[in-house]
Structure 1
Amino acid sequence: MKFAFLLLLTLFLSETNAQNSYQIEGHLYNASTKAPVANATIKTRQKTTSSDERGYYNLVLNEGEHVLTLTHIAYDTLQISLILQKDENKDLYLHPKMALMNEVVVSGSPRKSNIRSVSGNVQTLTREDLRKQPAFLGQADPLKTLQTLPGSGKGGEGNSGFYVRGGTAGQNLTLFNEAPIYNPSHLLGFFSVFNAEAIDQVKLYKSAIPSEYGGRLSSIIEVNSSRKVEDSLSIRGDVSILAANTTLALPITSNWSLSVSARKTFMNQTVWPLVNSLAGNGSSFNDMRYDFHDLNLNSNARIGSRNSLNLSAYHGGDRFGFGIRRFNISNGMNWKNSAYSFSWKSILEDRAVLQNTASYSGYNFNFGMTQDKYDANITSQIRDINWKSVLALYFQKHQLKTGLQYTRHRFKPNTPSVSASDTEYDFGLPNIYHSDESSFFLSDEFSVTEKTGINAGARFTYYRQLGPYQLTNEEQETVSFGKNEAVSAFGYIEPSLTLRQLLNQNSSLKLSLSRNIQPLHLISVTAVNFPADFWMPSLRSIPAEKGLQASVGYFRDSGKDNRYESYIDLYYKKMSGLVEFSGGIMNLIDNLKIEENLLFGSGRAYGAEFFLKKNTGKLTGWIGYTLAKSERRFEGINGGNYFPAKYDRTHDLSIVSSYPLTSRWNVNASFTYATGNAYTKPASRYLIGGNIVNEYGPFNGNRMPAYHRMDLAATYKIRNNRKFSTELSLSVYNVYNRQNPVYIYFLAEGDLEKQKVSIRPKSVTLLPVLPAVNYKFSFK
């Protein structure tokens, strides 16, 4: 493969030289501190690019005279003239902006326009975007902010799922510095595992997924820490009635720095006593308790001007418990995520960058239930080892990416343990599944004309289910497979294509087509998307999920300095190989083989997304609206006809805004509205042999009440200078105390002997209006 990379490099270098074009590359530095300048825009009449986190830039231009214009929000504009007659390496220095005004702190980065981007619908969130949304109990969260974007459906209160364009929660690949996160949620979706202070940006790919990623039908959520080598010591953090959070950035040398972020909640001492007291004896639940913690470590190093290293480590854990008053049941859940990655990025030759990443992911879940002397537990585990190598080649009209990836999976979905009094039950050997994926990918982004651009790519994957494993063949004989022996194997291709046509300087049309295959399945076992849902690989008896998606969108920037950005995007998605578990969470205690208790079906989803964002001015924020339909079809359900998916959202609206009242006061507000979840309602009830028998209406033929909520926050800057800054914020979650139900159940009451039974629906809600006070500080 190394030979193939060099051959590609040689061929395209030869082609480019024949066209009398040359490359100019180098690094951008702060003229005062000599620190790299990231996200600066470098522009000529022919091309526009931007510097990466190391300040590196790269342009391929025709031979002759050129004027380079360099801009950045925090630096003076720089213009240089040059005559390009050979490849050049030129480091440039930008001077920080100086103004006769009160001292300010400049943050954020120039926005990369979606108009000229030759990619599908990709949306990027920065730290500045996170600050515009009122934080839940004072804690900003990237995934909650992503859910305000069109096409990113909300599962409702207490639901950790993320539903993109009618897909399921398991059809998203969430990556933290290239390491997969299988359960990215804390607190049933109110928080994610991503500490906002430990990340640099978040990207959401929801159409024409790039070929360097694969294995999911709906989206890629790419979360990255900063790759900047810190040049000074800094400490920042916050504390509230909910949690404490702190980040330390420490330069070890001029080319090596380390940052550590830690977050710990203490809701068991603050929030949950309040919630439990407000619920009172009329609530179905009692003794609600929950806490979580997480720890991030990020280390960046530069080796010369051509090599950089990044080490990332994450570990977090949750403990959740509640009681069911009526049955004297105590339930508890705890789960842990781990993600470690090591990345080496190297500039091999002019126009070639190679990045190698090794990563490890782990996920553990335990569910326990206690009633009198009966104790039952179910555990689930996932282990991944991953290696990925990506070679990027930059030419005058082509930007190529090619590479290899290998992933080894180990799944342990349902391991039960049960005891009654002093008796321990033996369930035999646990179910353990092994599989691996070997992938090769290639993509090319190129300009056909000045206005027409194409991004085409494909990813080939060879998937294997591996032993040890036992199965029963058609002759009812048990067949055993040894360690690492292939039980089943198949290959598949995931192609993607995006065509971009510039209509003028401020607008463009994009057409995207893609086919995606998913060999891993998230099996749902609860009414809402709890962590109890577990992952299974494709087996000989479980085919992979398949999806086809087409989208067409109109993208536009408008106003002075492109103050507004907007788009309208239409999509259609068809899916097959969808999986549903035929039992419930208690069936897992039997140590049953999951593959023998599954239903298989198909689905379709289509809709229109509308987005408007105001980037500059006093009032900033965005409006996102989705009009959509998501349906499923399973044999044996609803007569084999299509029915609404549980999280089908006809309407989904989010409004996010931020406004500075004064130089010290800033207010944020958000409002969200979504059509209620679909559910199956009992149509009639009978008494047969003294038992209540329910007859149900159309499958998912009814709707829960619509979900809507408003949040507000106000922030006061107590002190704000270059060395030390503090601020105090007051946030209110669910301002008008909307009782949004988690789910609805039906309670039977009456006397069977008198044959008088009444059934009434009851909704379970979690959080009322909740205020929070948060104190933030930053020291440099």
Structure 2
Amino acid sequence: MKQVVFLFLLVLWNAVGYGQQKFTLSGTVRSQRTGETVINASIRNVRGGEGASSNEYGFYSITLPAGDYEIEYSAIGFSTFVDTIKLDQDISKNILLPDEVKDLENVTVSASGKGRTITGTQMGVERLTMTEVKSIPMLLGERDILKAIQLLPGIKQAGDGNSGFYVRGGSADQNLILLDEAQVYNASHLLGFFSTFNSDAVKDITVYKGGMPAQYGGRLSSVLDVKMNEGNNQNYELSGGIGIISAKLNLEGPIQKNRSSFLLSGRRTYADVFVPLAKDSAIRNNKLYFYDYNAKFNYKIGERDNIYVSGYFGRDYLKFDQQFGINWGNITGTVRWNHIFNNRLFSNTSFIYSDFDYNININNPNNDLDIYSKIRDLNLKQEFQWYAGSRHSLRFGFNSTYHKIKPGDVTSSGTASFNNFYLQDRFSWENALYATDTWKAAPWLNVTYGARVSSFAILGEGDFYEIDDNGNVTDTLHYSKGELVKNYINIEPRLAASFIINQTTSVKASYVRNVQNLHLMSNSTTGAPTDKWLASTNIIKPEIADLVSVGWYKNFSGNRYEFSTEAYYKKMQNQIDYRTGADVFTNDAIESQILFGIGRAYGWEVFLKKKAGKATGWISYTLSKTERKIDGINDGAWYNARQDRTHDFAIVFNYQLNRKWNLAANWIYYTGDAVTFPSGKYIIDNQVVFYYTKRNADRMPAYHRLDLGATWLLKDKKKFRSELAFSIFNAYGRENPYIISFRQAENDQSKTEAVQTSLFRFVPSISYNFKFK
């Protein structure tokens, strides 16, 4: 124990001891045009090369020896600013970065600024600017964040009509999706055709697909961290757009100039407006639309304190005649308080609310059924960032979340005999402590080390079950309200290092353990709104994943190009799959319907990106394998996971033709999904029953698609800008399979035929976008 204490004191002395002859420059980086804070801005000593980055609230801190310096401030989308300072005491200096000025004579544009850092330890991180997202051709012209990130290496799309995605062998529920720190449990509109994120309200997109920092937890595979715009605190701006199926409007401006601002953004589809015009009465009674609203307010209390309040509300409605209807939606709310204790210590306190629910109505002549499910979170998060010295930067805090899950209530309002059915509500309390230190160990070596300690307490009230190997309930245990059923405690170490070969080349390695206590019960892999969230129980243990990755990174041609390649291996414990013929939606003892085992995933990713010039874009390729091994499935042998794909390839291209026209294209190819096709059939009571053997041993046909787009700048005046955006989704009309089903051949009942269903061929779109500045 004495040795541990001595080692801790030695590290602490190493962290602060270097500050005796050094001083700290700190402050907040903001946009000169809007007053919004700038995330991930680079702050660099021009002569010496020492550097730092602004955090997610724009705060930065850099410690240097006393002397005269030229400090360079730069960020994606902004012009570089160089400031000369005399550092003979601690200095607090806020910076206003001017917007990037493009060379219209040569039409030279920058798609990304610093991009991935060569010296940083973080691996498997991808960042996209909204400029990049808006230039990618999308289905029906709707700019979609989730579709855009699926063009990056290691992130696989679920297919046409789906917003679900898979990261490094994980399933769709193993991705943590955050909007201003609030968890979004279902990020899809229109049954997965579009995502919940309105691009006009989004400021920053970061995806962690490996080696995620210790402040994130609760999912095995990835984190999608989306930050909303804060609102312009200098001038009022009104922007919007009208497309084939939707319209949106965005208003922002100062409440008190230089001190506070607001953002209000809304979007709605209007296909339902035209449905009543149909001649067919059955079609006239259908409904299919969604809407969502984003709002954010921020107030600068003083030089050291800021308050942010943000929220999201979205809803989908789907109704087929008078027979079936479903509506679902998310509500999130976040209140954050930033406080700067001094030039080295930054604090953020967050109160977070998250809610997802769905309601299904089934109307029969004598019996109307109503099915309702909900998951709700109340979350408190406290975090500190301590810039201990020139060699150490620490981040530590805690997170406490109370989960309430209503798996499903089935009620009847008809005259037919029916017993209302209520699955038990489940309650849990999830807590985590975390700490991490980024250490500049040597000029050629940076190390990030830390850990996250998570606790998941399962609470009563309710019945919990004991299950035998055959899935039979052997005992029922009742717990009163608030009584502790079981508490799972896990330590999640995080370790990453970057070995700097030169200013443009580095090698990185990382190890991370992640734990997941919320699980999605689904008959699909795409995150349908009717999927059911389930917390760990006395039988369902937390899922655990250990990920090891290595990579090589290179920037060349004056940082106009960046190249990286990463290899990874992931080992997973307590993976969940269904028993044959499982019923997970009306069975209260859901543990009796599922099986548990292990998983593994490994792969190789390549990424080449051109960041500047008339032509920009990237090429990404992923070679991977994802498998599961669960007793009771495939005779206990390894089998392909549903999301297993061998090859995944994407090309994204953007070309600034001239001042008025921007052209874009993307081409996608990937191996068909692993599926289970029937291997035989037999007849029972004159009915054909298909026979299945090995799970996920077959493949869907390969998928490929070309999308084309063009943006025509109509006007670009001082106070007004407008454009027309054109796109063609699936330009060469490939009939990619959405579903393959099997049936008896009409002409020969002894034969079975496969029937392929495809969704989209040649989908053109046009949208008009405007902005009053």
For the criterion TM > 0.5, the same-fold answer is: yes
Q: Which runs of 5+ in 2 are unaligned?
A: 1-7, 468-472
Structure 1 residue 182 corresponds to structure 2 residue 185: yes
CA offset at residue 522 of structure 1? 0.9
SS at 1:131 equivalent? helix
Q: CA offsets, 1:488-515, max 9 Å, x none? A: 1121111111110011111111101111
Question: Residue in 2 aligned with 1:4?
Answer: none
Question: Residue in 1 aligned with 2:27?
Answer: 26
CA offset at residue 410 of structure 1? 0.6
Aligned partners of 1:775, 1:450: CA distance in 2, in Å? 51
Aligned partners of 1:673, 1:39: CA distance in 2, in Å? 32
Matched letter for residue 681 of structure 1: F
Matched letter for residue 707 of structure 1: Y
Question: Residue in 2 aligned with 1:406?
Answer: 400
Aligned partners of 2:35, 2:733: CA distance in 1, in Å? 52
SS at 1:268 equivalent? helix
Relative to structure 2, which stretch is displaced further, 66-75 or 476-485? 66-75
Question: Residue in 1 aligned with 2:547?
Answer: 549
Pairing of 1:233-252 with structure 2 (within 5 A): 233-252=236-255
Question: Residue in 1 aligned with 2:502?
Answer: 504
CA offset at residue 675 of structure 1? 1.0
Structure 1 residue 653 corresponds to structure 2 residue 649: yes
Question: Residue in 2 aligned with 1:263?
Answer: 267
CA offset at residue 686 of structure 1? 2.5
Question: Residue in 2 aligned with 1:389?
Answer: 382
Pairing of 1:275-424 with structure 2 (within 5 A): 290-321=288-319, 330-370=323-363, 373=366, 375-394=368-387, 395-418=389-412, 422-423=415-416
Aligned partners of 1:317, 1:683: CA distance in 2, in Å? 41
Question: Residue in 1 aligned with 2:459?
Answer: 466
Q: CA offsets, 1:733-768, max 9 Å, x none? A: 1212222222211123569xxx94432111222233
Aligned partners of 2:528, 2:35: CA distance in 1, in Å? 49
Distance 1:271 1:501, change over 3 A: farther
Structure 1 residue 78 corresponds to structure 2 residue 78: no
Matched letter for residue 690 of structure 1: N
Contact 2:36–2:231 (CA under 8 A) maintained in structure 1: no
Relative to structure 2, which stretch is displaced further, 366-375 or 546-555? 366-375
Structure 1 residue 737 corresponds to structure 2 residue 733: yes
Contact 1:335–1:364 (CA under 8 A) maintained in structure 2: yes
Matched letter for residue 716 of structure 1: W
CA offset at residue 265 of structure 1? 0.3
Pairing of 1:465-544 with structure 2 (within 5 A): 465-472=458-465, 478-526=476-524, 529-544=527-542
Distance 1:99 1:369, change over 3 A: closer
Distance 1:286 1:217, change over 3 A: farther
Question: Residue in 2 aligned with 1:16?
Answer: 17
Contact 2:172–2:525 (CA under 8 A) maintained in structure 1: no
CA offset at residue 414 of structure 1? 2.3
Aligned partners of 1:592, 1:35: CA distance in 2, in Å? 49
Distance 1:314 1:688, change over 3 A: closer
Aligned residues: 755
Q: CA offsets, 1:334-382, max 9 Å, x none? A: 2111110011111112200000011000000123445665544432210
219, 227, 231: which one pairs with 1:216? 219
Contact 2:372–2:409 (CA under 8 A) maintained in structure 1: yes
Aligned partners of 2:758, 2:284: CA distance in 1, in Å? 13
565, 568, 571: which one pairs with 2:565? 568
CA offset at residue 455 of structure 1? 0.7
Contact 2:38–2:57 (CA under 8 A) maintained in structure 1: yes
CA offset at residue 12 of structure 1? 6.2
CA offset at residue 692 of structure 1? 2.4
CA offset at residue 238 of structure 1? 0.2
Distance 1:765 1:444, change over 3 A: same
Contact 1:621–1:657 (CA under 8 A) maintained in structure 2: yes
Structure 1 residue 126 corresponds to structure 2 residue 129: yes
CA offset at residue 41 of structure 1? 3.5
Structure 1 residue 773 corresponds to structure 2 residue 769: no
RMSD after superposition: 3.3
424, 432, 453: which one pairs with 1:431? 424
Q: CA offsets, 1:120-171, max 9 Å, x none? A: 2111111111122113212111111010001111111223321000100011
Matched letter for residue 400 of structure 1: L
Matched letter for residue 762 of structure 1: V
SS at 1:293 equivalent? strand
Contact 1:35–1:231 (CA under 8 A) maintained in structure 2: no
Aligned partners of 2:648, 2:101: CA distance in 1, in Å? 44
Contact 2:35–2:233 (CA under 8 A) maintained in structure 1: no
Q: CA offsets, 1:666-714, max 9 Å, x none? A: 1111111111111112122223553424332432111111111111111
Matched letter for residue 22 of structure 1: F
Contact 1:612–1:624 (CA under 8 A) maintained in structure 2: yes
Matched letter for residue 518 of structure 1: Q
Pairing of 1:166-181 with structure 2 (within 5 A): 166-181=169-184
Contact 1:524–1:581 (CA under 8 A) maintained in structure 2: no
Aligned partners of 1:15, 1:593: CA distance in 2, in Å? 55
Relative to structure 2, which stretch is displaced further, 613-622 or 133-142? 133-142
Aligned partners of 2:534, 2:240: CA distance in 1, in Å? 39
Q: Which runs of 5+ in 1 are unaligned?
A: 1-6, 324-328
Aligned partners of 2:57, 2:515: CA distance in 1, in Å? 35
Relative to structure 2, which stretch is displaced further, 682-691 or 597-606? 682-691
Question: Residue in 2 aligned with 1:696?
Answer: 692
Q: CA offsets, 1:638-662, max 9 Å, x none? A: 1111111112111111111111222
Aligned partners of 2:595, 2:221: CA distance in 1, in Å? 21
CA offset at residue 409 of structure 1? 0.3
Contact 2:239–2:769 (CA under 8 A) maintained in structure 1: yes
Contact 1:525–1:583 (CA under 8 A) maintained in structure 2: no
Matched letter for residue 27 of structure 2: G
Aligned partners of 2:584, 2:633: CA distance in 1, in Å? 22
SS at 2:229 equivalent? coil
Distance 1:674 1:724, change over 3 A: same
**TM-score of the pair, normalised by structure 2:** 0.91
Contact 2:153–2:621 (CA under 8 A) maintained in structure 1: yes
Aligned partners of 2:542, 2:56: CA distance in 1, in Å? 37
Question: Residue in 2 aligned with 1:49?
Answer: 52
CA offset at residue 637 of structure 1? 1.3
Aligned partners of 1:579, 1:273: CA distance in 2, in Å? 47
